[in-house]
Amino acid sequence: MKLFYLCSLLQMSCCHSGSHSLWIMGTYISGKTPFPDFTGYVMLDDIAFAYYDSNGNKAIHRDTHNASYQMVDANDIDYAGHFFEYLHERVKFRLSNMKKYLNNTDDIAVFQRIIGCELPNNDHPGTMFSIDGYNGETVIVDHYDADQDALRLEWKWPNIVSKTWIQHVNLTLQYRIAYYPDCINYLQRHLPKERNRVLKKVKPRVRLLQKTLPDSSGAKVTCLATGFYPRHINLTLFRDGQPVSDHQITGGELLPNADETYQMRKSLEVSREELQYHNYTCTAEHLSLDNKLDIDLEPEWESGTTIILSSVTVLAVCVCVLGATCVIMIWCWRRRKGQGSQGSLSTYSSAPNIDLD
């Protein structure tokens, strides 16, 4: 099962430089836990501005960077509240069906849904898609192309369509007349209010460091980048001027900082001989940089002095951004038994008449 499942899905939003996105996220958890059974967020790009949980049954304004700043008006918050009530019932229904379909008898189970739309570089409305996940496994992904008025569905368990999902409404029609127009209109209406925040450019601080491994058999070479915005960055490790292959690299996850910037690290373990006879460099490419940034290897470093946040701090930041959602996933992962993959996604070129919402 994947850790920080919802956090990883968030990296898909605004994944292309210059694009902007609106995302609604909901998590339902069954079983006895210290968390609300349902939590939800609304985000414009990286800014979380609305929060809802089943304990309060009311959407509230939440800006994790500036608590006193009201990004949206009361009507927007009320609208979000009504949508979350609907989403709560939908994900609860789907979790129940998934447990039956997979004969899951675990005392804890989690179902998540993310719905979002995007404005690409030219401000022409882009695609909209939703992702459903059950216990860290992707169940279905919807891709709606408004230009073609086409919906593509990817199922992990195709048989679930006839066994657990109610078939009575054309989903393509739902996207065409409701979901897509509402999402794009909301994004276009609020993006101008937040242009100074979402269009800011902050240069990354980049270092290439080495540290001897505990058994002294070699060293770890790590390229560190932090403090950059927007989130998209190309970070590449080179050996003698040639990119190191991905299968040799560890890390590479995008992580949030507390000041609405991001960080990333990529590492490579090398032997003493490799470190002595090869030249290692790191290159960063980012929207804030006029040219790519080439960094040479620095002397030995101590882990306590690194500019990158510790794993504990990173976890705290992620919780700040997404509230209890990611904490729920970790807590449940520790409680649950490991569940193996049960097949691969199947792709359908046309949409069946299914109510997926």
Confidence label for 346 from pLDDT (cuts 50, 70 and 90) = very low
- Calpha distance 117→143 (Å, rounded): 10
Residue 280 counted as domain residue? yes
pLDDT at 179 over 70: yes
The structural domain count of the chain equals 2
pLDDT at 107 over 50: yes
| Domain containing residue 211 | 205-314
Residue 331 counted as domain residue? yes
Residue 356 counted as domain residue? no
Q: Strand pairing partners for 285?
A: 234
Spatial contact of 247 and 226, defined as CB atoms under 8 Å apart:
no
Residue found by looking up tokens 């459903």 in the block = 132
Closest CA to 354 of 88, 151, 89: 151
- Calpha distance 54→45 (Å, rounded): 25
**pLDDT tens figures, 235-270:** 999 999 999 999 999 999 999 888 889 999 999 999
**143 burial class (0-12, 13-18, 19+ CB within 10 angstroms)?**
middle
Residue 219 counted as domain residue? yes
Confidence label for 13 from pLDDT (cuts 50, 70 and 90) = very low
- Whether residue 337 is found in the same domain as residue 282: no
Strands (E), 80-125: 109-119
pLDDT at 342 over 70: no
pLDDT at 333 over 70: no
Q: Are strands 293-300 and 205-212 parallel, antiparallel or unpaired?
A: parallel
CATH of the domain at 9: 3.30.500.10
Phi/psi for 66 (5° steps) reads: -145, 95
- Whether residue 295 is found in the same domain as residue 328: no
pLDDT at 166 over 60: no
Closest CA to 5 of 332, 260, 256, 251: 332
Would you state the pLDDT for residue 319?
A: 42
Spatial contact of 146 and 108, defined as CB atoms under 8 Å apart:
no
Residue with more model confidence, 179 or 72: 179
What 3-state class would DSSP assign to 212?
strand
Mean pLDDT of the chain: 77
Q: Which amino acid would we find at residue 71?
A: M
- Whether residue 119 is found in the same domain as residue 210: no
- Whether residue 305 is found in the same domain as residue 326: no
**pLDDT tens figures, 184-217:** 888 888 888 777 777 788 999 999 999 988 876 7
Residue 357 counted as domain residue? no
Residue 354 counted as domain residue? no
Would you state the pLDDT for residue 73?
A: 64
- Whether residue 71 is found in the same domain as residue 146: yes
